[in-house]
Amino acid sequence: MPDTHHTARQGSATETPTRDLAQWVAEVPSTDFTDRPRRWAKHAILDWFGVTLAGATDPLVGILAGDALDAGEGGNARLVGRKEKVTPTIAAMINGAASHALDYDDVNKRLHGHPTVPVVPAILALAEQKGLAGRAVVDAFIVGYETECLIGEMMGMNHYDHGWHATATVGTFGAAAGCARLLGLDAGKSAMALGIAATQAAGLKSMFGTMCKPLHAGKSAMNGLMAARWAARGFTSRSDALECAQGFGTTQSTEFHGLPVRPDSAAPFAVEENLFKYHAACYLTHSSIEAIRELKQHHEFTADQVTRVRTLVDAGHRKVCDIPEPETGLQVKFSIRHCIAMALSGIDTGDREIYTDATAARPDLMALRRKVEVEDKVHDSRHAAEIVIDLADGRSLVQFFDVGVPADDLDAQEQRLIAKFHRLADPILGADKAKRIKDLVLGLDDAKDVGDLMATAG
Amino acid sequence: MPDTHHTARQGSATETPTRDLAQWVAEVPSTDFTDRPRRWAKHAILDWFGVTLAGATDPLVGILAGDALDAGEGGNARLVGRKEKVTPTIAAMINGAASHALDYDDVNKRLHGHPTVPVVPAILALAEQKGLAGRAVVDAFIVGYETECLIGEMMGMNHYDHGWHATATVGTFGAAAGCARLLGLDAGKSAMALGIAATQAAGLKSMFGTMCKPLHAGKSAMNGLMAARWAARGFTSRSDALECAQGFGTTQSTEFHGLPVRPDSAAPFAVEENLFKYHAACYLTHSSIEAIRELKQHHEFTADQVTRVRTLVDAGHRKVCDIPEPETGLQVKFSIRHCIAMALSGIDTGDREIYTDATAARPDLMALRRKVEVEDKVHDSRHAAEIVIDLADGRSLVQFFDVGVPADDLDAQEQRLIAKFHRLADPILGADKAKRIKDLVLGLDDAKDVGDLMATAG
């Protein structure tokens, strides 16, 4: 299925990718966004509210909000999960930082990053300020998302490998495109918005592990929002910012190549390959956990029966998440062995509160994790895992899982996302308010504006 | 003299340039900034007010200010040369964009860019908000300026050649360092400020010729200001953002090398090599104009007597400013021949109002420019020019000038800068207010705060 997605998206190169993209941003009819991409979009927005509400309690968000109020940046725009209200520009930044604070937000492989966190904070802040309709917000999200993924693909893997945090850099274009759409800019002004975004795009991968990583998402949202607003007023940039000599493309990738926008208009939109995180641990543990989840659904066995577990994964996993004897909650998140032990024991790995020092020290989990072997295997996807479980009764269970494959069953996805959302949102807002947000987001296409939604969340 | 400057500044490489720099930013005693660097700093700040007042009427500034007010970003911070008041963060941005709008602001060769426009808007906005003393503002400017030039040198020419607008990228560090100093951050927090600056640093040279170029200066000021404010509150980044793997250095230059801060503490500060622009034309016309100014001071001759003029300049000048028959005011700025004709005729090339279509079409200037030959010659400095003027009476006058050499005579520099300032500021504010600003800036070391200065300018 991911191959189908990919083939559909290939096309001959274009010499004018910025203008092509700007024209599409401005002119693609809303009616092209059928129920299926709209439903995917609402899933992503619902998930965004969950991770943002939970992330809003992070100290980094308090720093940004406190600074904004001291700097006179109070206003009417809501901060999700917080009491303060600030200007729309600053709200886009702070909500963006909050939504990436837990690193529990969604992923797209074409972007090589997190697609939702740069776009949603920008378009919500704009829609809230201008009183824009929910349907336009959904449209703008699909547009922004498509823009990021297309540019991510144009930049190639070299951009990320060279040290750029694509969520930050490419994300700026996503926010600008979404806001340009929401403001109804024409193709010429949309190209200006992309150009103004290009020259503000920044963010270093070497900042991972500091508060700057979540800040990147927020700054992208803010910079993209400003780019679109300024373009609307006639601020000038280049109309070929991606492909011009020493433009965004060649300054920041050795592989840049112009690509057409959706050469196959019947192909799925980029948002339809969004990958959600259901476990509050390193993404490279997810396929192993999901494979165990599958096995437990189809076979009767308990953790006591397990004599040996092998997980066959890309060699790169060892570098990132193979802490054999984790001692802290944070280390658990990067211990594929401990995560497997948790999954086998029926612990909810989607609960971010479970990643504690006490969990790391639980004797039954420690015994179980020592039965796990991590082995190298080349799969088609570097996120995939093959799990082999030997049981005391002689059975050997085998399951492959690749979290890099978008979901097929949207009903099932929705149920899982609602469960994740409530787990994150209920402790912050209470179950009633959380349910109201869930209903408002899933009904966003019919909302007169986003005022009620933002008031409930902020 | 520039060679002396350079030698003094060399030193053995350091493995920890970010931390060294942060420590210097935090701990260099104010008493190290003696009268001479302080005087240079005030010259740069005076020149900044002149170009900012004149630039504040540019349409791009109106767009930014109008957008800010519509987005609820009104506040108490002054916009130089304008009626609107906005938040300090936005003031730093808009004042920074205004100050680079005319491209008439100063230059430093170590930065490969414009040093004052990213720093002054940030520190003034902060000082205005917090009521900080003038002396601290001068200190902060010297610190920010030194930071930019040191990092500019660490990045090497490759950074600029690759497509980065150093005023924008490296300027962000200057603003952050200046604001960190002004906030009294310790070495650890100053390092965080530099790290937060590093991951926001952006700006493409390919945007030259659009409103994005001046925006770069403003965004650098704004981003640097926010970086320092956030660091003050405990926001985290890396303490080795310049030199770490995939840090600012190696992601954006192939020549990055760590350098110590002022290994010779007796050497002049970077601000003491600031280069001011006295002509409202392309910088590469300046040495030719100055050479003629020298000749006119020491020899008696009139434009009528001139039979032939040769200017011997770096081959690169032909690409940038050798429009032989300019037809518009803008083209005049990029016509070394027409600028020479104007200088020979005693026209004030520092008056930005003189660059008109009418000036381009003046018959006497057209006749004179046709007597000018532009020839290639390799000088030590690519900004230098050697002028040879043949006169009807058989005399041949020769003069070399390099605008890349900092001034020796600070009294003379001050007089020229005051004249330039009044030429720019008087039409905007009137002579009385302009004089008051001049007096307040030149007395800045003794000012209780910058409130009076900003109120007079805004």
Number of alpha helices (DSSP H) and beta strands (DSSP E) in chain A: 20, 6
Kindly write down the DSSP assignment for every residue of A347-358, as one continuous string: --TT-GGG-SHH
- Is pLDDT of B1 > 80? no
Q: Which of residues 66-125 of B touch A (CB under 8 A)?
A: 66-67, 71-73, 75-77, 87-89
Q: Could you report the per-residue pLDDT of A287-317, keeping only the tens digit for each? A: 999 999 999 999 999 999 999 999 999 988 8
**Is B129–A199 a contact, with Cβ atoms under 8 angstroms apart?**
no
Q: Could you report the per-residue pLDDT of A403-433, keeping only the tens digit for each? A: 999 999 999 999 999 999 999 999 999 999 9
- Is pLDDT of A218 > 90? yes
pLDDT-derived band at A330, boundaries 50, 70, 90: confident
How does DSSP classify residue B300? Answer: -
In the beta sheet, which residues pair with residue B311? B374, B387
Residues A399 and A289: beta-carbon distance below 8 Å: no
In the beta sheet, which residues pair with residue B77? B86
**Is B235–A75 a contact, with Cβ atoms under 8 angstroms apart?**
no
Residues B148 and B119: beta-carbon distance below 8 Å: yes
pLDDT, position B11: 52
* Alpha helices (runs of H) in B82-165, residue ranges in sequence order: 88-100, 116-130, 134-161
Residues A16 and A388: beta-carbon distance below 8 Å: no
- Is pLDDT of A8 > 50? no
Q: What is the distance between the alpha carbons of residues B104 and B37, in angstroms, rounded to a whole number?
A: 22
**Is B212–A199 a contact, with Cβ atoms under 8 angstroms apart?**
yes
- Is pLDDT of A33 > 80? yes
Give, rounded to a whole angstrom, the gap between the first and last alpha carbons of chain B.
Answer: 38
Q: Could you report the per-residue pLDDT of B298-322, keeping only the tens digit for each? A: 999 999 999 999 999 999 888 888 9
Share of chain B above pLDDT 90, in %: 92
pLDDT, position B18: 98
Amino acid at B75: G
**Is B204–A229 a contact, with Cβ atoms under 8 angstroms apart?**
no
Q: Report chain B residues whose CB lies below 8 A from the CB of A247.
A: 163, 204, 206
pLDDT, position B320: 82
- Say which of B66, B204, B246 has its CB closest to residue A247: B204
Residues B126 and B88: beta-carbon distance below 8 Å: yes
Look over chain A and give the mean of its residue pLDDT values, rounded to a whole number: 95
- Is pLDDT of B438 > 50? yes
pLDDT-derived band at B330, boundaries 50, 70, 90: confident
pLDDT-derived band at B8, boundaries 50, 70, 90: very low
- Say which of A195, A196, A211 has its CB closest to residue B236: A211
Look over chain B and give the mean of its residue pLDDT values, rounded to a whole number: 95
Strands B385-391 and B306-313, how do they pair? Answer: antiparallel
Q: Choose the weakest-confidence range: A118-127, A149-158, A274-283, B314-323.
A: B314-323
The mean per-residue pLDDT over the stretch A337-351 comes to 95
SS3 A37: helix
Q: Which residue has the tokens 């490296």?
A: B170
A421 CA to chain B: closest CA distance, Å? 28
Q: Could you report the per-residue pLDDT of A222-269, keeping only the tens digit for each? A: 999 999 999 999 999 999 999 999 999 999 999 999 999 999 999 999
Residue of A nearest to B246 (CA): A163
Q: Which two tokens stand for residue A299?
A: 């076979």
B162 lies within 8 A of chain A by CB: yes
Q: What is the distance between the alpha carbons of residues A156 and B24, in angstroms, rounded to a whole number?
A: 40
- Is pLDDT of A1 > 80? no
pLDDT, position A3: 35
CA torsion, ordered B185, B186, B189, B194, to nearest 10 deg:
80
- Is pLDDT of B345 > 50? yes
The mean per-residue pLDDT over the stretch A47-61 comes to 97
Q: Report chain A residues whose CB lies below 8 A from the CB of B219.
A: 200
- A114 contact partners, CB below 8 Å, separation of at least 6: A100, A105, A106, A107, A108, A167, A171, A217
- Say which of B129, B230, B248 has its CB closest to residue A64: B230
Q: Which of residues 197-256 of A touch B (CB under 8 A)?
A: 198-207, 210-212, 215-216, 219, 226, 229-230, 233-238, 241, 244-248, 250-251
Q: Report chain B residues whose CB lies below 8 A from the CB of A249.
A: none
**Is A204–B205 a contact, with Cβ atoms under 8 angstroms apart?**
no
- Is pLDDT of A82 > 80? yes
Crossing angle of helices B59-70 and B88-100, in 10° steps, is 170
Interface test with B, best of A69, A78, A130, A207 (most B CBs within 10 A): A207
Q: Could you report the per-residue pLDDT of B268-305, keeping only the tens digit for each? A: 999 999 999 999 998 999 999 999 999 999 999 999 99
Q: For chain B, state the CA radius of gyration.
A: 22
pLDDT, position A4: 36
**Is A199–B211 a contact, with Cβ atoms under 8 angstroms apart?**
no
B58 lies within 8 A of chain A by CB: no
pLDDT, position B318: 83
The mean per-residue pLDDT over the stretch B119-143 comes to 98
The mean per-residue pLDDT over the stretch B338-359 comes to 94
The mean per-residue pLDDT over the stretch A380-390 comes to 94
Crossing angle of helices B116-130 and B166-182, in 10° steps, is 30
How far is C-alpha B106 from the chain's CA centre?
Answer: 3
Q: Report chain A residues whose CB lies below 8 A from the CB of B248.
A: 204
B248 CA to chain A: closest CA distance, Å? 7
Please, what are the domains in chain B? 2-276+411-457 (1.10.4100.10), 283-401 (3.30.1330.120)
Q: What is the distance between the alpha carbons of residues A349 and A352, in angstroms, rounded to a whole number?
A: 7
- Is pLDDT of B186 > 70? yes
pLDDT, position A11: 52
Phi and psi for A415 in degrees, rounded to 5? -65, -40
B270 CA to chain A: closest CA distance, Å? 27
Report the b/e string of B177-216 with b at 16+ CB within 10 A.
bbbbbbbebbbebbbbbbbbbbbbbbbbbbbeebbbbbbb
- Is pLDDT of A2 > 60? no
Give, rounded to a whole angstrom, the gap between the first and last alpha carbons of chain A.
Answer: 39
Q: Choose the weakest-confidence range: A329-343, B43-57, B311-325.
A: B311-325
Strands (E), A159-259: none
- Is pLDDT of A6 > 70? no
Q: Report chain B residues whose CB lies below 8 A from the CB of A246.
A: 162-163, 204-206
The mean per-residue pLDDT over the stretch A214-219 comes to 98
Report the b/e string of A229-259 with b at 16+ CB within 10 A.
bbbbbebbbbbbbbbbebbbbbbbbeebebb
Q: Could you report the per-residue pLDDT of B135-184, keeping only the tens digit for each? A: 999 999 999 999 999 999 999 999 999 999 999 999 999 999 999 999 99
Tell me which residue of A351, A342, A369 sits closest to A279, measured CA to CA. A351
Amino acid at A198: A
**Is B204–A202 a contact, with Cβ atoms under 8 angstroms apart?**
no
CA torsion, ordered A158, A160, A164, A167, to nearest 10 deg:
140
**Is B248–A162 a contact, with Cβ atoms under 8 angstroms apart?**
no
Share of chain A above pLDDT 70, in %: 97
